[in-house]
Structure 1
Amino acid sequence: MRNGNGALSGAVIAVAGAGGPAGRAALQRLAEAGATVVGSDNDPERLAEAVDAARYAHGGATVIGDTVDLLDLKSTRDWASHIEKDFGHVDGLVHLVGGWRGSETFTKTSLDDWDFLDLLLIRTVQHTSLAFFDALQRSDRGRYVLISAAGATKPTAGNASYAAAKAAAEAWTLAMADAFRKTGGAEGPTSAAGILVVKALVHDAMRADRPNAKFAGFTDVEDLAEAIAEVWEKPAAEVNGNRLWLTETP
């Protein structure tokens, strides 16, 4: 366990997709840094386990789990509104909603995969960004953090749907960043939307299942969580509209 430095003391950060391995790591790291963390996930049981783990790891931390339908814009807006109402401000949204569909070859790509990924990887980004924009703009350290994949920049034949969906999510996030830039005026943005790019993620359970695998270029979920927390240590102008690479640039 790291020693908390309280760098995010007083911050209120929402984490979408909090129940998976990356979400669990993010909840714990943000709580350790002193933030109040509000997570959501489409699996209530998995979310409850992640919230309990973060609370156990950092006694006294405020970690909350909310059941939210991120495919419904009104539900997502209501989530953002109640967080701001309950805590007075919202300083971040970390978008960790993930999923993958692929094929053996380009021509075997199923457009059903695209329909699935469109909802999971694009629609949820649209909803969280629209729902949280105003609250993040009102914060003096608002950050929207999208986790993306290197494949969006260099797609492979069997990952057409996944890479295209990730690229669309990145473009949407960069448009949000431009809105922050314009709102900031001549003095520059005070809030930021940025993208953390990985090749893929790895965690302890994956290593246990495949003890001989190299996972070359993969980012450990603990390292990703650290990079997420460090976003708030950077000036808004350094984050806004930028891809921050955690793997080799293609």
Structure 2
Amino acid sequence: MSKRLSGRVALVTGAARGIGLAAAKRLAEEGAKVLMSDIDADVLAEAAAGLEAQGLIVQAAVCDVADPQSVAAMVDKAVAAWGRIDILINNAAISDDTPIEQLSDAHWRHVLSINLDSALHVAKAALPYLKQSPSGSIVNIASVQGIRGQPHAMAYATAKGGLVNLTRCMAVDFGPFGIRANAVAPGYIDTRMAEQKLGTPHEHQTDWFQDIYFKYGRMPLRRAGKPQDVAGPILFLASDDSLYVTGTVLVVDGGFTATY
């Protein structure tokens, strides 16, 4: 039985752990050759080795997505290895909850450079190869914080909101080349981003979170998501199952944004 992504090459940023790793695994299981990139060299190498041990075709590329030269080298590595790029998953990001009183201009720019600017840099570098693909697809990983306001999320939420509209602009500009661009907006997902300070309980395990989001129904599905819950929607948007879907935002949040 033919796999959905056989013969295609995917590039996944922020792939050392969490949603990025889950997406890289899912795409590779469907037949894609996957270049996994991350700035954390040791964790990335371990993650890539783990997927290779499962018989999946992956390579690792250490990359600082805030640096256009590093991005160019990452794209070159994928093309040198497999001669093409068909799928781009812009997942690299950092969390931030800095109140405006402590939010310096430098920190604001740092958060936006990684969470927003990087998606533009990577897409621009990969665009010549995506244009050559018969089924080019870009999936940007946004957040429900880019759709709704949240306390102390000025920089992070602004970046993710910008990424949502950048996705729409990509869909408009790249559509004539047959390239689709969509976003996935995860809600509360059990990843390192949701961890609190070392030695304290995971945010999703705290009494206040359990009460507000599960007991009192702010999360209709009554659980936080897993990275694998997001990998499936990413696969859908990367594959031919969504050939007439572009410029959309697929919210993956357990029903969080359906409540008030």
TM-score by length of 2: 0.81
Give the match for residue 196 of structure 1: 184
Superposed CA deviations along residues 41-96 of structure 1, whole A, max 9, x for unmatched, are: 0011010011011122x22x211001223222233223323422431221111111
Question: Does residue 1:44 correspond to 2:51, yes or no?
Answer: no
Give the match for residue 178 of structure 1: 172
Question: Does residue 1:235 correspond to 2:242, yes or no?
Answer: yes
Query: Per the alignment, in what secondary structure is the counterpart of residue 201 of structure 1?
Result: coil
Q: Which moved more, 1:152-161 or 1:78-87?
A: 78-87
CA contact (8 A) 1:15 1:38 kept: yes
Query: Per the alignment, in what secondary structure is the counterpart of residue 96 of structure 2?
Result: coil
Listed as ranges, the matches of 1:200-219 within 5 Å are 200-203=188-191, 209=202, 211=205, 214=210, 217=219, 218-219=224-225
Question: Does residue 1:145 correspond to 2:139, yes or no?
Answer: yes
> In the aligned structure 2, how far is the partner of 1:40 from the partner of 1:47?
7
Query: Per the alignment, in what secondary structure is the counterpart of residue 124 of structure 2?
Result: helix
Work out which of the residue numbers 63, 77, 92 in structure 1 matches 2:58.
63
Work out which of the residue numbers 5, 11, 20 in structure 2 matches 1:8.
5
Superposed CA deviations along residues 167-213 of structure 1, whole A, max 9, x for unmatched, are: 122222222111112x24xxxxx22111001113215996x956566
Give the match for residue 74 of structure 1: 69
CA contact (8 A) 2:171 2:180 kept: yes
Work out which of the residue numbers 47, 67, 86 in structure 1 matches 2:81.
86
Alpha-carbon spacing, 1:13–1:156, altered in 2? closer, same or farther (3 Å): same
Alpha-carbon spacing, 1:47–1:53, altered in 2? closer, same or farther (3 Å): same
Alpha-carbon spacing, 1:211–1:200, altered in 2? closer, same or farther (3 Å): closer
> In the aligned structure 1, how far is the partner of 2:117 from the partner of 2:191?
26
Say what the alpha-carbon RMSD is for the aligned residues.
2.5
> Unaligned stretches of 5+ in structure 2?
196-200
Give the match for residue 101 of structure 1: 96
CA contact (8 A) 1:102 1:109 kept: no
Listed as ranges, the matches of 1:118-157 within 5 Å are 118-157=112-151
How far off its partner does 1:28 sit? 1.5
Question: Does residue 1:19 correspond to 2:16, yes or no?
Answer: yes
CA contact (8 A) 2:185 2:250 kept: yes
Question: Does residue 1:244 correspond to 2:241, yes or no?
Answer: no
CA contact (8 A) 1:129 1:173 kept: no
State the aligned residue count. Answer: 236
> In the aligned structure 1, how far is the partner of 2:23 from the partner of 2:60?
13
How far off its partner does 1:129 sit? 1.2
Identity %: 24
CA contact (8 A) 2:13 2:38 kept: yes
TM-score by length of 1: 0.84
CA contact (8 A) 1:191 1:236 kept: no
CA contact (8 A) 2:139 2:183 kept: yes
Superposed CA deviations along residues 8-33 of structure 1, whole A, max 9, x for unmatched, are: 11111011111122222122211111
